[in-house]
Amino acid sequence: MSRSGQRFNPVISGLAAIAALFFILPLTGLVIRAPWSSMTKTITSSGSLDALWLTLIASLATTALALIFGFPLAWLLARVQFRGKALVRGLTTLPMVLPPVVGGIALLLAYGRRGLVGEPLYSAVGFSLPFTTPGVIVAESFVAMPFFVITLESGLSSMNTRLEDAARSLGASRLTVFRRVTLPLIAPSLLAGTVLAWSRAVGEFGATITFAGNLPGVTQTAPLAIYISQSSGKIDEAIALSLVLVVVSLAVMIGTRNRSRSA
């Protein structure tokens, strides 16, 4: 007979320990095998700095795009009834389950130089997205925005919209209702969705290399640089860059952890 609280269950604890180890060991391996003596030199090499800078810019731009375009989409899906809604929701979340390289190919067929939209664009202004930094942003947005939309939509629909009625009945204009009632109540899922989209964008590889290509300083983001390094035997460079990404991601995760739980 136990008092309140979960009793120690060896099966659950054992399996949980295995799961935890599964994730901790590779990260520990990274730290242990890192080339600490030459770390500063490796990270500050122009190739690495280019890759990190590009990753930063592209992921932030992707997150901004997700906010600007994803917010209205999430709102629409959560609040408005319209025909074909299930289809729209399915299509906008498809990239989440698609292998990223498939996304890259699909992007080429739509926005590549001979693509459905890309061709008229190229004929008109001579610009095409592949091989450009905007192209990287497009590839990252394709895979990352759905995460934002889904998370935010769930927050919006789980919110009690009658609270907005209450605010209006108290004299608040629609803008005030949004600012003082809706936003604070969806803030946790908004934050969670933003972080999710950002980190997905940082780690994006398959769609980027397929759609935007690989050129240092222009389209070679950190994941691409890491892949190139490791595949040509430059393991040290790969590990060094990997560690930077791990540290940054960890910092973001820990920093937003408490605030992205529901209020």
Partner 1 sequence: MLDADIRLRLDRLNLDAVLSVQAGEVVALLGPNGAGKSTVLRALSGLLRLDGGKVELDGTVLEEPAKHIRVAPEKRPVGLMFQEYLLFPHLSAVENVAFGLRARGVDRRAARERAAAALERLGVAKVSEARPGNMSGGQQQRVAMARAMVTEPKLLLLDEPLAALDVSTKTDVRRQLRATLRESQAANVMVTHDLLDAVALADRMFVIEDGGIAQSGTPAEVTARPKSRYVADLVGVNLLRGTARGTALELDGGGRLVTGQEMSGQVLALIAPHDVSVSRDRPDGESSPNVWPGQIGAVDLMGDRVRVRVDGTPTITAEVTPAAVDALNLDAGGQLWASAPPTSIHSYPP
Partner 2 sequence: MRNHRARMGVAVICLAIVAMLAAACGTSSSSTVRTTSASQKVSGAVVVFAAASLKDAFDQIGKQFEQANQGVSVKFNYAGSSSLATQIKQAAPADVFASADTTNMDTVTNDNLASGPKNFASNTLEIMVGAGNPKHIKSVSDLANSDVKVAVCASDVPCGKYTQEVFKKAGVTVHPVSEETSVSSVVTKVTLGEADAGVVYTTDVKAGGDKISGVTIPANQNVTAEYPIVALKDAPNKDGATAFINYVLGPAGQKVLQSFGFKPAGK
24 binds partner 1 (CB under 8 A): no
Query: How many of the other CB atoms lie within 10 Å of CB of 26?
Result: 10
158 forms part of the interface with partner 1 (CB under 8 A) = no
At residue 215, the 3 state secondary structure works out as: coil
Q: Is residue 170 part of the contact set for partner 1 (CB under 8 A)?
A: yes
Cα dihedral 71→73→75→81 (10° resolution): 180
Pick from partner 2, partner 1, none: which does 18 bind, CB < 5 to 8 A by kind?
Answer: partner 2
Given 20, 91, 117, 163, the residue binding partner 1 (CB under 8 A) = 163
Rounded distance between C-alpha atoms, residue 49 and residue 213, angstroms: 19
Binding partner 1 (rule: CB under 8 A), the pick from 54, 74, 107, 185 is 185
Contact region with partner 1 (CB under 8 A), list: 76-84, 93-101, 180-188, 251-259: 180-188
CB of 180 to partner 1, least distance (A): 7
Pick between residue 180 and residue 259 the one whose CB is nearest to partner 1: 180
Give the residue from 185, 202, 92, 104 showing the smallest Cα distance to 147: 92
Would you state the structure tokens that stand for residue 160, as one six-digit string? 């009690």
For partner 1, give the closer residue by CB, 37 or 160: 160
Q: How far apart are CA 236 and CA 45, in angstroms?
A: 13
Interaction partner, residue 84 (partner 1, partner 2, none; CB < 5-8 Å by kind)? none
- Rounded to whole angstroms, the Cα distance separating 203 from 172 reads 42
By a kind-dependent CB cut-off of 5 to 8 A, residue 89 interacts, out of partner 1, partner 2, none, with: none
Closer residue to partner 2 in complex, CB, 15/163: 15
Write out the residues near partner 2 by the rule CB under 8 A.
Answer: 9-11, 14-15, 18, 108, 112-114, 128, 130-131, 209, 213-216, 218-220, 227-228, 230-234
- Which amino acid belongs to residue 44? T
From candidates 9, 38, 44, 176, binder to partner 1 by CB under 8 A? 176
- Residue 168 · residue 236 · CB < 8 Å: no
For residues 93-128, one letter each, b for 16 or more C-beta atoms within 10 angstroms of the residue's C-beta and e for the rest, the string is bebeebebeebbbbbbeebbeebeebeeebeeeeeb
